[in-house]
Amino acid sequence: MTYEQIALATEDGVARIVMNRPEKLNALTATMSDELVDAFEKAAAADDVRCVVLTGEGRGFCAGQDLTEFADAYRSGQRPDIKAHLAKTYHRLIPTIAETRKPVLAAVNGVAAGAGLSLALACDIRVASEEARFTQAFVKIGLVPDSGGTFFLPRVVGYAKAVELSMTGEMIDAETARELGLVSRVFPSASFEPDVSGLAGTLAGLPTQALVATRDLIRGALTADLDEALAREADAQASMAETDDHLEGVTAFAEKRQPQFRGR
């Protein structure tokens, strides 16, 4: 696929996916959604990719759905078929991000609103520039959160705060987002790119299969009882014990050196 609204580049084990409509604060279109699905699938399948970074070009991370896609329908007094639109776009994109078999880092460089916030929430780890802003903007146009917003947000910030943010549509800054656990780190805007690259490089240097299995276990444990969680841990541990990275980790420990993980 030739990309028109995103960019994809891989270097040193990190695939960097950039939403590239800066004049629209990287608002999502059907085209961009298709391109993001393709880019994530490519990154997941690439042996040389050990971490995926999702970010935005310019001042915004992603301002949510580009409503101009529905402009003709609204002007004519019709109602667009939003359910069909969701099925073709976000219901494909969000699971693709969340189920990527590599660690996924959202580098929120600017505003993340509505479906743009959902994109960040679908990633494994979120970091923000000090200039980033976050809002569940749906209520401001008489809609409810979609694109996984009602699934991810309460799991990240808790039920009560998720309800408040979704009902009020309040815009919060990066430091507030960090305090809520919405992002784990806030980087200075002047050093945002190298700070993100440093974290992505760290993730790319770790045992990829163990990182993904850890994420899956934690996600599954949210709805499991203790016995089920213990059983899942045992199964995953048995699988990890068969990996080359486990052998390398144990050997490096015995030899008192830094391990050189390969993601295998």
Residues 251 and 239: beta-carbon distance below 8 Å: no
Nearest to 156 by CA among 111, 94, 222, 224: 222
Distance between CA atoms of residues 183 and 73, nearest Å: 37
Contacts of 220 (CB under 8 A, 6+ apart): 229, 232
Residues 111 and 133: beta-carbon distance below 8 Å: yes
- Beta partners for residue 181, in sequence order: none
Distance between CA atoms of residues 244 and 203, nearest Å: 17
Residues taking part in catalysis: 91, 146
Distance between CA atoms of residues 4 and 21, nearest Å: 9
